[in-house]
Chain A
Amino acid sequence: MVSAELRQRIEAHLEWYHTIEIEPGLVTPGAFDYRDVIDGLPLPDASGLRCLDVATYDGYYAVELHRRGAAEVVAIDISDHAQWDWPPRKRQAGIERLSRERAAKGLGFELVNEALGSPIKKIELSVYDLKPQVVGTFDLVTCGALLLHLRDPFRALEAIRSVTGTWFFSNESVDVGLSTLLRRTPAFRLNTNLPTPTGQWLVPNAAGFREMIRAAGFDIESDSGNYVLPFGPGYTYSNTTGLRALGKRLATSALTRSRGRAGGPHRALLTRPADL
């Protein structure tokens, strides 16, 4: 049972990215809520495994791996908003916007981990700096919605591959319209020039996501297909009301069978490092 004092700190926390049920009646109001979709994703049985969650943010995957019986869970993330991959001319504005609108990096994770009795080992490390010499290797590596925020996603995937023993689970944003328009052609939308700087670089279509994973030296073992990751109450990154948002939601719904629920289109792949 979480103490009243900690519960208060959790409730007062400025921004939650992940919806995490800490205990019955105590749920973080995140921007993204995996609870209704996680059982449909190809996340392998973690029991007894040494696991790594890359770019953990509030720690949803790390907590999930711990609860699924992992022998050890390590989580990494960058230590502050200045470490994001910013386009140089948008860097200053981006850092200032995130410092204003979002919590200090890692604070949400610390609250969650403390509430659970600190079962997760957190290391402040960029994905680019993952090396077996630094963190060892892992039976299972998870990474959620990170690659779209990187200027060089392949360098990140190479670093992930260097510490992956058996499984790499990758869950990413996909563009459903582009997936339908170009079914077989791997294609990406460049998002560096959006009206509000979002810290995004590249969003793939389904074929693009699969091809990127293969080009980075992984074999795909299982594929969720495009699905909608529901928004939680903390979602403020784009307008979710109005005619335009409704149209987008209906189109996404038609292409992903999400039954009209508001959320972001994603896809999850379970992969293994290929024998090269």
Chain B
Amino acid sequence: MEGTATTGPWYHTIELPSGEVTPGLFDHRPVLQKYGLPPKLEGKRVLDVGTFDGFFAFEFERRGAAEVVALDVPEPGAMDWPTPLRRTGTGMARSYDNFDVAHSALGSRVTRERLPVYEASTERLGTFDLIFVGSLLVHLRDPVGALMALHEICAGELWLADAVSRTLDIVGRGRPLAQMRGASGKLEWWLPNRAALRDCMDAAGFVDIHAGPRFTVPFRAQRGGIAHAVLRGRPGGPVSP
């Protein structure tokens, strides 16, 4: 791990050409098929939102996307800190420099944009055939606001893969519920059930929403991993009253 050891802990598990594998907190490799993402992305302009170390952005590049843009916050202070943690919390934030390490090791042509998701706009980023949002909404104070911004730049499909609550799926029996974790200190705001995640996309203006089943993403810090679901939808126009 000579080239990767000095950059701080890895978030994503990424296989580098040298045979090295970055020691990520998350390992998406064994469950990547469950995301159901298109195997071929030739000719597509793709946006990876909340890219972190870039696992998905590099994967989209590998699948032949014409252009991949990887979006993340400019610095940890730009994340949605709850009021009680704003002063102390920013110190616990992880570094975003590993992206550059992986990018250079892979000889990648992915473009990096440093912008809070709420500020995504056609002026700043253009439009995309495929937008992927992975494990991000759980960290946002205003998830529907973020999806509304992405709706504006979505010319094809939005794929949303995020943590979901097994308990609230069961307790809710189809009702949209979300656990609120704002004061937990972990910079997690909402843990929705699948129905609530669906309704967030609906509220933001997406249509033809398809919600896939729950599956577990392996996570080093939590035995049993983290339950996720993948949803996808298309941008809808205004509804006539």
Closest to A90 in B: B239
Query: How distant is the Cα of A9 from the Cα of B153 in the complex, in angstroms?
Result: 49
Query: How distant is the Cα of A87 from the Cα of B207 in the complex, in angstroms?
Result: 13
Query: How distant is the Cα of A259 from the Cα of B181 in the complex, in angstroms?
Result: 34
Tell me if B176 is interfacial: C-beta within 8 Å of chain A.
yes
Q: Judging by beta carbons under 8 Å apart, are B142 and A155 in contact?
A: yes
Tell me if B213 is interfacial: C-beta within 8 Å of chain A.
no
Q: Which residues of B contact A274 (CB under 8 A)?
A: 84
Q: Which residue among B151, B196, B200, B236 has the maximum number of chain A CB atoms within 10 Å of its CB? A: B196
**Contact A215:B203 (CB < 8 A) given known A96-B241, A178-B177, A182-B171:** no
Q: Which residues of B contact A90 (CB under 8 A)?
A: 239
Q: Judging by beta carbons under 8 Å apart, are A188 and B205 in contact?
A: no
Q: Pick the residue among A189, A215, A276 that contacts B183 (CB under 8 A).
A: A215
Query: How distant is the Cα of A93 from the Cα of B179 in the complex, in angstroms?
Result: 30
Q: Pick the residue among A88, A189, A190 that contacts B200 (CB under 8 A).
A: A190
Tell me if B33 is interfacial: C-beta within 8 Å of chain A.
no
Q: Majority SS of interface residues in chain B?
A: mixed
Q: Judging by beta carbons under 8 Å apart, are B179 and A89 in contact?
A: no
Tell me if A58 is interfacial: C-beta within 8 Å of chain B.
no
Q: Mark B178-219, 1 if CB is under 8 A from A, else 0.
A: 111111000001101000100110111100000000000000
Tell me if A151 is interfacial: C-beta within 8 Å of chain B.
yes
Q: Judging by beta carbons under 8 Å apart, are A93 and B241 in contact?
A: yes
Q: Judging by beta carbons under 8 Å apart, are B205 and A190 in contact?
A: no
Q: Which residues of B contact A202 (CB under 8 A)?
A: 178
Q: 5 nearest interchain CB pairs?
A: A215-B182, A217-B83, A93-B241, A215-B183, A190-B176
* Besides the known contacts A217-B83, A276-B84, A276-B86, 9 further A-B residue pairs in the complex with CB atoms under 8 A apart: A89-B205, A92-B239, A152-B142, A158-B83, A161-B83, A181-B171, A187-B168, A193-B176, A212-B180
Question: What are 15 A-B residue pairs whose CB atoms fall within 8 Å in the complex?
Answer: A87-B144, A88-B148, A89-B236, A97-B241, A154-B141, A187-B180, A188-B190, A189-B175, A190-B199, A204-B180, A214-B183, A215-B180, A217-B83, A276-B84, A276-B86
